[in-house]
Amino acid sequence: MRTATGAWVWIGARAAMSLLIAAAVVRQLAASIGTALELGRDVVTTIANFLSFFTILSNAAAAIVLAWAAIWFWTKRRDRDAEPPGLATALASVSTYMIVTGIVYNLLLRSVVLPQGSEPVWWSNEVLHLIGPLFLLADVFVGPLRRRLPWRALWAIVAFPIVWVGYTMVRGPLTTNPVSGEPFWYPYPFLNPNNDGGWGSVIVYVIGIAIAIVAVGALVVWWGRRAADRGVVASVPQTADTL
């Protein structure tokens, strides 16, 4: 978004997407709680499991960061300012997580049949797994006022997925599945060592997804650096009346 008008439009789109993603997360959580109550499942475990999905955590973070970016633009930005480092790193991180979420879900999980009573709300599911990721992908290339991040920002980007995988693998055998009653619960079938393939399959998938996260994160950082080097960062007037 090189023009002032384009920048304002895109920031408005960020704010709208933040609200849409937040609504999708809340709607899906409400549906999960409602189903748990209806079928007599453990509600606390259901909520904890819901908040343990990488998709949910990534979308919740994206909603917060997109809102942060919009508020900064409208209240703190000065003419020609690039994003502050913290915001720039956060945007790069959630962009990476959302893009990877979209890739993994649509390639590996869209056709997976879920247990009865676990079906997602259709519009919420599409926002969380398709519309949100596509928006964050577009934001990488057209979002205004992007800062040139150092390559070491990749460490910040990969930190959360590493922690999440560790948490998931430790929590899995300690959690009883509220749907099936099995003495373990993993958010995604490819992370479940009790499935065919065992730990070998899990390790292969973890390595593959780790490579994808690093690759996408590197692309996000590289594009921001390229845009800054070429002077693509938008020049935006201080007040809207100059548009």
pLDDT at 243 (0 to 100)? 36
CA distance linking residue 45 with residue 192, whole number of Å: 18
List % helix, strand, coil for the chain (3-state, nearest 5): 70, 0, 30
Residue with tokens 């259901």: 46
CA distance linking residue 40 with residue 179, whole number of Å: 10
pLDDT at 234 (0 to 100)? 41
CA distance linking residue 22 with residue 19, whole number of Å: 5
Element holding 58 (H helix, E strand): helix 54-75
Query: What domain range includes position 84?
Result: 4-242
Answer whether 218's CB lies under 8 Å from 154's CB. yes
Answer whether 68's CB lies under 8 Å from 87's CB. yes
Query: How many angstroms separate the Cα of 136 from the Cα of each of 21, 50, 60, 62, 207?
Result: 11, 22, 13, 8, 24
How would you write the pLDDT of the chain (243 residues) with one tens digit per residue? 556 777 889 999 999 999 999 999 999 999 999 999 999 999 999 999 999 999 999 999 999 999 999 999 888 776 667 788 999 999 999 999 999 999 999 988 887 766 655 667 889 999 999 999 999 999 999 888 778 899 999 999 999 999 999 999 999 999 999 988 999 999 999 999 999 999 999 999 999 999 999 999 999 999 988 876 665 444 444 444 333
Select from 146, 163, 3 the least CA-distant residue to 72: 146
pLDDT at 236 (0 to 100)? 42
Residue with tokens 């150092």: 150
Answer whether 82's CB lies under 8 Å from 88's CB. yes
**How many structural domains compose the chain?**
1
pLDDT at 116 (0 to 100)? 52
Answer whether 5's CB lies under 8 Å from 243's CB. yes
The upper half-sphere exposure of residue 176, i.e. CA atoms within 13 Å in the direction of its Cβ, equals: 6
3-state secondary structure 3-40: CHHHHHHHHHHHHHHHHHHHHHHHHHHHHHHHHHHHHC
CA distance linking residue 177 with residue 164, whole number of Å: 19
Which residues have CB under 8 Å from 10's CB, separation 6+? Answer: 1, 139, 142, 143, 144
Which residues have CB under 8 Å from 27's CB, separation 6+? Answer: 121, 123, 124
| Neighbouring C-beta atoms of residue 64, cutoff 10 Å | 15
Read off the pTM: 0.88
Q: With the C-alpha atoms ordered 235, 238, 240, 243, is the resulting torsion angle positive or negative?
A: negative
